[in-house]
Amino acid sequence: MTEARTGVRNGAFHTGTYRNVFREAGYGEEEIAARLAQTWRELFEEGDETRIYYETDDGMGYLLDTGNLDVRTEGMSYGMMMAVQLGHKDTFDRIWRWSWQYMHMKEGPGAGYFAWSCLPDGTRNSNGPAPDGEEYFALALLFASHRWGDGEHPLDYGAKARELLSVCIHKGEDGAGDPMWNPDNKLIKFVPSAEYSDPSYHLPHFYELFALWADPADRPFWQEATEASRAYIRLSCHPETGLSPEYAHYDGTPNDERGYGKFFSDAYRVAANIGLDWEWFRADPQQPAIAGRIQSFFADKEPDDYRRYFIDGTPLEEKALHPVGLLATNAAASLAAGGELALETVRRFWETPVRTGERRYYDNCLYLFAMLALSGRYRIWMPERG
């Protein structure tokens, strides 16, 4: 297997072996597989109170943000990653066709990016992109290319991924638009026009793979972005609680100019990202400690009392909008955290069903990702050897 550039070489990328933390917590392989299949069905196939995926009569499909009644690049790219991990090619292609048809911008300052929000009929709510969607689109497409092979446009997955990654870092060089990564510090932006970041957007484990499979000329950039993002996560996570803000300045300090400098919905994903980065690459020896701090902070808190917090842990009055999602990401951090608390956090998640009701979309996306990660099924799909 191709060597990565950093860290101790005993992550799943190097060994090909993925931990099944559910099994370590005492669950049987058959019940784990059944639970994962059930979760897919609840989100993608059945149950008006749980599903978030809907198919259209013209051979496409979309994931609905059930709280806002729109379709977001976040959810569409998440759905593609879930589908490629579980081998659902038809669903993957339906979601990608919808994204390409309605979200991909062919002209204007955002050309090459994807409009972050549309109505279910495809009408755009915005012509601006959101970088977390782009990075998930790119890696899901690369995995699809490696798992299933490329097809005819727009199912030429590998080419589409490399085109998108090129746009993300070169946009604006001709004077039109802005790149999604700051070209100097190599940090992903909150949006292309903003000069600050969102810690939950930082996916160094994705960038490791972009550095292998993007256009050759762009690979050094992704190598630098990998290191920059790991360092940024360390900076933005509080040294005692492990909590990070939703928005942060480039030095990692909370950016509260718009009220998003606290630990709230976006920031939940940081714990899961740390867990998966450690599982795949084990490149940053500080990650287990950060994951452990996050789990320790929430160890004595009940999900129905999760709140918005200052990153030092001071609670605010506002309750969490997505407690199931927070529970899921804290459990996913067990890929990096160790000890009995990590297993207890996993068991607590296992005992929690998927969310129902109007706010279920975000929680259930994070839920299925945690199911994949903790069952050892969130995997790196490598290109076939010639």
Residue reference for tokens 């060597």 = 3
Annotated catalytic residue: which of 74, 93, 135, 284?
74
User: Is residue 90 among the annotated active site residues?
Assistant: no
Annotated catalytic residue: which of 65, 198, 218, 266?
266
User: Is residue 74 among the annotated active site residues?
Assistant: yes
Catalytic residues: 74, 266
